[in-house]
Amino acid sequence: CHPEGELRGVLTLGTADAAIALRGGDETLDVLAAVSTSAFEQIMTAEKEDDLDAYFEALARQVEGLGGVCVVDPAGERAFGAEPGLPADALAAAIRGGTPTTLRHDDRTVRLRPLPNDPRCHACHEAADRWRGALLVSTTTLTEPRASLVAATDVSLRHVMLAGLGRLIARFLDEVAGTGAVSSLTLHDGQGRLYRDAFARPQPPPAVAEALASDDASAAEGQLQAEDARLVYVAPLANDPECQQCHGDDHPLRGAIEVVVDTREAAESRRQVVTTGLGFAVVTIVLTIALLYVGLRALVVRPVATMGDVADRVGEGQLDQRVPVRSQDEIGRLARRLNLMIEELRKKLELSKFVSKATVGSVDAAQSAIERQGHRTRMTVLFSDVRGFTAFSESVQPEEVVAMLNRYLEAQAEVVDRHGGDIDKFVGDELMATFRGPDMESQAVACAVEMVAAVDRINAALPEGSPRLQVGVGVNAGEVILGAMGARNRMDYTVIGDAVNLGARLCSAAEPGQVLVSAPVRIAAGNPAGLRFEALEPLRVKGKREPVEIFAAQTS
């Protein structure tokens, strides 16, 4: 800390006219104990407990007449320093008394100073304990009490500095001054600058003095004040619990910060900016009025009128109308958005005839109206039918029937979407979905098994005694015909064919909660993780000469 010079500073201590005169009695022991206690607490605050034994040894060695210093715990057992040499029970009783006590040991006088368990000490000591121990000072004969005080202060100051918390020196000096045994106490650094005058009364700026005088921790948000040509910001510093280890707990504020900003230069700059701005504003207003009169008709009025004409024709059903886009500004952007809206309106009108994703894709790909035609493609079809729905609908109110059906169908539809399927249609309590792509068979099987599980979760959540429905699911893959079918003004974009019919037959043959798949689906699906297939008796299907090989799919 002090790499240069032979002196690191000067400590001056005066005792003339002090409140307490040192004569070598208990009053001297109390002062020495107070100085030692203050240094002990600062070293503990710095978490340098390992340095305490060296500090107490230095006191005993360098302070004339001082036999030893130690700290004992509430039970009277030594914690730091030399052995007290007194019975632990006697020390514990003196600590519980709560007042400084003089004890005798051989030819020495021992002064015991109880250490209160302040809130800042609760990190190491139980909060319920009133005392955390005591500090003992033993002496033989104090021939020069004032010299002993100076030596004790010097040794203590050195060890507080060595603890690494130099900022605690001011508090230590203030506590030495608070003993009443000194009338002046100052510390200067090696350059002669005053570091601390324990008896000086600081004169803070008015705003800081006002904040500190309020003693209100709630004011810690700070206040901004305007004074002539400057701004003054004062922020009181609240003495939060984590700060009380260094600042104590007897005051709500630990200080204040004042920031002063000279605003004269800023005010002059603002005046110049305002003057210049007014001149530019006048010129700008004149030019703007002229430009608006000349340019608005060409830039805004005519394009907006054109957009209005196009909108009128679109309202009459002419969906081939478009607005010319001649600029990249907001008018051009509006024209592009209007054209996009007309195009989307055309698609929406076409899509109103269909409901599936395949329908949307067909309309997006079409350059004109959809024609009633189809083409062959390979797909996987899935049929799901709610079992027992007819009997359920006959015994329940129509509103409840619709609500329950929607709940089951919505749960199945969500599963289809998650597995990349396309819901082709809903027919009463039946759902038809299609799957495409290289993994369409495995996706469809996983979807079917999860649909059954989703229905089971719905049933599990129903109140006890409520009717519960199940679904049977059939899955088949093969060549189908995909296209728009129906009337010219109301078409259905769907799939038909033998593969579709077989999928529907499998659904009809499935038991409640069962998933039946055809042999092509079983072969193409392979062995997906989490699923297993069980071969069943071949199924005779209408329109097929030979029985159809089928499998039941379920979770493994």
Q: How confident is residue 550, by pLDDT bands cut at 50, 70 and 90?
A: very high
> Is position 2 within any domain?
no
Which of 262, 289, 307 is the last residue in one of the domains? 262
pLDDT for 218 beyond 70: no
Q: Verify that 393 and 379 share a domain, yes or no.
A: yes
Domain holding 545, by residue range, is 357-555
Per-residue pLDDT reduced to its tens digit, 358-387:
665 555 555 555 566 678 999 999 999 999
Strands 515-518 and 470-486: parallel
> Is position 4 within any domain?
no
CA 59, CA 52: separation in Å to the nearest integer?
11
Per-residue pLDDT reduced to its tens digit, 83-109:
888 899 989 999 899 899 988 877 788
> Is position 391 within any domain?
yes
Q: Verify that 315 and 387 share a domain, yes or no.
A: no
Burial of 277 (0-12, 13-18, 19+ CB in 10 A): exposed
Per-residue pLDDT reduced to its tens digit, 390-443:
888 888 888 988 999 999 999 999 999 999 999 989 998 899 999 999 999 999
How many C-beta atoms surround the C-beta of residue 234 within 10 A?
23
Q: Verify that 192 and 337 share a domain, yes or no.
A: no
Contact 182, 15 (CB under 8 A): yes
Domain count, the chain: 4
Per-residue pLDDT reduced to its tens digit, 319-368:
788 888 888 888 888 888 888 888 888 777 766 545 565 665 555 555 55
Residue 37's contacts (CB-CB under 8 Å, 6 or more residues apart) are 113, 115, 135
How many C-beta atoms surround the C-beta of residue 2 within 10 A?
11
The token pair at 256 is: 């204040």
Residue 43's contacts (CB-CB under 8 Å, 6 or more residues apart) are 49, 51, 52, 55, 159, 160, 163
> Is position 251 within any domain?
yes
pLDDT at 256: 66
Per the listing, tokens 């038909």 go with 496
Which of 352, 383, 409 is the last residue in one of the domains? 352
Contact 160, 169 (CB under 8 A): yes
pLDDT at 532: 93
> Is position 77 within any domain?
yes
Per-residue pLDDT reduced to its tens digit, 193-210:
888 888 887 777 766 666
pLDDT for 219 beyond 60: no
Helix axes 330-351, 357-365, angle to 10 degrees: 120
Name the nearest CA neighbour of 437 among 477, 494, 384. 477
Q: Verify that 171 and 224 share a domain, yes or no.
A: no
pLDDT at 181: 87
Q: Verify that 119 and 236 share a domain, yes or no.
A: no
| Between 153 and 1, the higher pLDDT residue | 153
CA 350, CA 343: separation in Å to the nearest integer?
11
| Between 229 and 552, the higher pLDDT residue | 552
pLDDT at 44: 84
**Using alpha carbons only, how large is the chain's radius of gyration in Å?**
47
pLDDT at 371: 60
Q: Verify that 474 and 329 share a domain, yes or no.
A: no
Contact 325, 310 (CB under 8 A): no
Q: How confident is residue 287, by pLDDT bands cut at 50, 70 and 90?
A: confident
Q: How confident is residue 492, by pLDDT bands cut at 50, 70 and 90?
A: confident
Which of 170, 197, 224 is the last residue in one of the domains? 197
> Is position 227 within any domain?
yes
Q: Verify that 223 and 164 share a domain, yes or no.
A: no
Name the nearest CA neighbour of 473 among 431, 413, 420. 431
Average pLDDT over residues 21-50: 86
> Could you tell me the sign of the dihedral formed by the alpha carbons of 194, 199, 205, 211, in that order?
positive
Q: Verify that 289 and 249 share a domain, yes or no.
A: no
CA 90, CA 94: separation in Å to the nearest integer?
6
Residue 115's contacts (CB-CB under 8 Å, 6 or more residues apart) are 37, 71, 131, 132, 133, 134, 135
Q: Verify that 167 and 315 share a domain, yes or no.
A: no
Query: Domain holding 458: CATH number?
Result: 3.30.70.1230
pLDDT for 220 beyond 70: no
pLDDT for 486 beyond 90: no
Q: Verify that 166 and 38 share a domain, yes or no.
A: yes
Per-residue pLDDT reduced to its tens digit, 139-185:
888 888 888 889 989 998 888 888 876 666 888 888 898 888 898 98
Burial of 4 (0-12, 13-18, 19+ CB in 10 A): exposed
> Is position 3 within any domain?
no
Strand positions, DSSP E, 348-410: 374-387
pLDDT at 106: 77
Give whole-number Cα distances, 528 to 191, 412, 443, 445, in Å: 85, 21, 9, 9
Q: Give the three-state DSSP class for 177.
A: helix
Q: Verify that 13 and 155 share a domain, yes or no.
A: yes
Q: Please provide the average confidence, as pLDDT, over all residues in the chain.
A: 83
Per-residue pLDDT reduced to its tens digit, 452-484:
999 999 999 988 888 889 999 999 999 999 887
100: left (phi over 0), alpha (psi -120 to 50) or beta: beta
Q: Verify that 321 and 434 share a domain, yes or no.
A: no
> Is position 1 within any domain?
no
99: left (phi over 0), alpha (psi -120 to 50) or beta: beta
pLDDT at 25: 83
Per the listing, tokens 């020196």 go with 169
Helix axes 52-62, 145-162, angle to 10 degrees: 150
Q: What amino acid is encoded at 476 in this protein?
A: N
Q: Any alpha helices (H) in 243-388, and if so which ranges?
A: 244-247, 264-296, 302-315, 330-351, 357-365
| Between 466 and 506, the higher pLDDT residue | 506
pLDDT for 489 beyond 80: no
Backbone φ, ψ for residue 112 (5° rounding): -100, 125
Question: pTM for this one?
Answer: 0.43
Q: How confident is residue 516, by pLDDT bands cut at 50, 70 and 90?
A: very high
Residue 480's contacts (CB-CB under 8 Å, 6 or more residues apart) are 376, 377, 378, 379, 381, 495, 496, 497, 499, 500
